[in-house]
């Protein structure tokens, strides 16, 4: 199904019946990645999942999005489809968006429960080596951008980007690269204490993108939070250890 939100053609799915669960996916993903949990939850709930702007079948934003822009977009989507009460489930970027929504104090719908899966939102502390590498990259990028250097070595900036950029950054379009930079540079740690609903945190023990220490900090700072750590699982804990993940999810949602 499709609808238009702020001029953005938005793709979403709607499956099952009962109380609503809204799934917000991670960076570089789409609704298809979450089919197994959608199937499980739709046994008892109405499950809605959308492709966020710039992912799946949804158009890219017309200007680089921040976390706040994604949060506003999701709230407008929820209003547009007529949902007044929903459980929120977010993986990685989706978790980041949920944290932003719930800490804004401007939620237009009821949220009885929250599920954060390997959620992003806590900005990692960078080592001295990482800071130096970033500084060198910025200086080099500026140098390659000079008109004379650009004429002599026109592919310089692109080669520098491929060498220093993350896999997500390199795989993204120019618009989504700008969006990624805005999103990952916002630290939401101070927002966590403002989250009031009962919150389940599910984490892969071997997650390197959002380490389990992030989950432990979220459990400490979110007033009504509990953390379940899945062994032998990484950032996609729901795929790495599907059976264990679904047992935890089913128990929490009483499926």
- Paired residues of 91 in beta bridges: 117
Q: Are residues 119 and 134 in the same domain?
A: no
Q: Is 67's pLDDT higher than 60?
A: yes
Task: Establish if 164 belongs to a structural domain.
Answer: yes
pLDDT for 155:
56
Last residue of a domain, one of 173, 207, 231: 173
Last residue of a domain, one of 173, 208, 235: 173
Determine the Cα angle at 238 with ends 237 and 243, to 5°: 110
Q: Are residues 135 and 28 in the same domain?
A: no
Q: Can you spell out the DSSP letters for the chain? A: -EEEETTEEEEEEEE--SSEEEEEPPTT--GGGGHHHHHHHTTTSEEEEEPPTTSTTSPPPSS---HHHHHHHHHHHHHHTT-SBEEEEEETHHHHHHHHHHHSS---SB--EEEEES---PPPPPPHHHHHHHHHHHHHHHHHHSHHHHHH-TTHHHHHHHHHS-HHHHHS-HHHHHHHHHHHT---GGGGGG--SEEEEEEETT-SSS-HHHHHHHHHHSTTEEEEEETT--TTHHHHTHHHHHHHHHHHHT-
Q: Is 234's pLDDT higher than 70?
A: yes
pLDDT in tens, 179-230: 999 999 999 999 999 999 999 999 999 999 999 999 999 999 999 999 999 9
**217-246 mean pLDDT:** 98
Residue with the bigger pLDDT between 75 and 165: it is: 75
Q: Are residues 149 and 249 in the same domain?
A: no
Q: Are residues 240 and 117 in the same domain?
A: yes
Q: Is 6's pLDDT higher than 70?
A: yes
Q: Is 147's pLDDT higher than 90?
A: no
Q: Are residues 220 and 242 in the same domain?
A: yes
Helix (H, G, I), strand (E, B) or coil at 165: coil
Q: Are residues 34 and 82 in the same domain?
A: yes
Phi and psi based region of residue 18 (left: phi greater than 0; alpha: psi -120 to 50; beta: remaining): left
Q: Is 165's pLDDT higher than 90?
A: no
Q: What is the pTM of this model?
A: 0.86
Q: Are residues 160 and 249 in the same domain?
A: no
Q: Are residues 236 and 111 in the same domain?
A: yes
Number of domains in the chain: 2
- The CATH number of residue 86's host domain is 3.40.50.1820
pLDDT in tens, 18-39: 999 999 999 999 999 999 999 9
Task: Establish if 46 belongs to a structural domain.
Answer: yes
Residue 5 backbone phi and psi in degrees, to 5: -125, 115
- Looking only at the bridges linking them, the beta strands covering 46-50 and 20-24 are parallel
Average pLDDT, the chain: 88
Task: Establish if 179 belongs to a structural domain.
Answer: no
Burial class (CB in 10 A: 0-12, 13-18, 19+), 91: buried
pLDDT for 144:
39
Residue 137 confidence class, pLDDT cut points 50, 70, 90: very low
Domain interval for residue 169: 130-173
Burial 202-219 (b: 16+ CB within 10 A, else e): bbbbbbebbbbebbebbb
Q: Are residues 46 and 159 in the same domain?
A: no
pLDDT in tens, 69-108: 999 999 999 999 999 999 999 999 999 999 999 999 889 9
Pair 198, 253: CB distance under 8 Å: no
Q: Are residues 105 and 200 in the same domain?
A: yes
**114-139 mean pLDDT:** 66
Q: Are residues 212 and 150 in the same domain?
A: no
Q: Are residues 102 and 145 in the same domain?
A: no
Task: Establish if 226 belongs to a structural domain.
Answer: yes
Task: Establish if 178 belongs to a structural domain.
Answer: no
Task: Establish if 223 belongs to a structural domain.
Answer: yes
Task: Establish if 180 belongs to a structural domain.
Answer: no
Residue 158 confidence class, pLDDT cut points 50, 70, 90: low
Pair 221, 232: CB distance under 8 Å: no
First to last CA, the chain: 26
**234-249 mean pLDDT:** 98
- Looking only at the bridges linking them, the beta strands covering 2-5 and 8-15 are antiparallel
The winner for highest mean pLDDT among 52-61, 100-109, 144-153 is 52-61
């Amino acid at each position: 199904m499709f609808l238009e939100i702020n001029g953005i053609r938005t793709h979403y799915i709607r499956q099952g019946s009962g109380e609503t669960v809204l799934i917000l996916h991670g960076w570089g993903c789409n609704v298809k990645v979450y089919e197994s949990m959608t199937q499980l939850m739709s046994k008892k709930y109405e499950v809605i999942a959308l492709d966020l702007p710039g992912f799946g079948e949804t158009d890219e934003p017309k200007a680089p999005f921040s976390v706040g822009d994604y949060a506003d977009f999701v709230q407008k989507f929820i209003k547009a489809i007529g949902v007044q009460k929903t459980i929120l489930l977010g993986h990685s970027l989706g978790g980041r968006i949920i944290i932003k929504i719930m800490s804004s104090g401007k939620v237009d719908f009821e949220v009885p429960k929250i599920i954060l899966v390997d959620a992003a939102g806590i900005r990692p502390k960078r080592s001295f080596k990482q800071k130096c590498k970033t500084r060198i990259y910025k200086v080099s990028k500026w140098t390659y951008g000079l008109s004379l250097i650009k004429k002599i070595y026109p592919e310089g900036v692109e080669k520098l980007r491929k060498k220093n950029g993350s896999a997500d950054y390199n795989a993204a379009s120019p618009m989504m690269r700008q969006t990624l930079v805005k999103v990952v540079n916002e630290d939401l740690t101070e927002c966590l204490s403002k989250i009031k609903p009962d919150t389940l945190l599910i984490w892969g023990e071997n997650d390197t993108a959002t380490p389990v220490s992030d989950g432990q900090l979220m459990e400490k700072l979110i007033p009504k939070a509990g953390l379940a750590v899945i062994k032998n699982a990484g950032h996609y804990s729901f795929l790495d250890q599907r059976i264990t993940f679904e047992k935890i999810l089913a128990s929490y949602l009483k499926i």
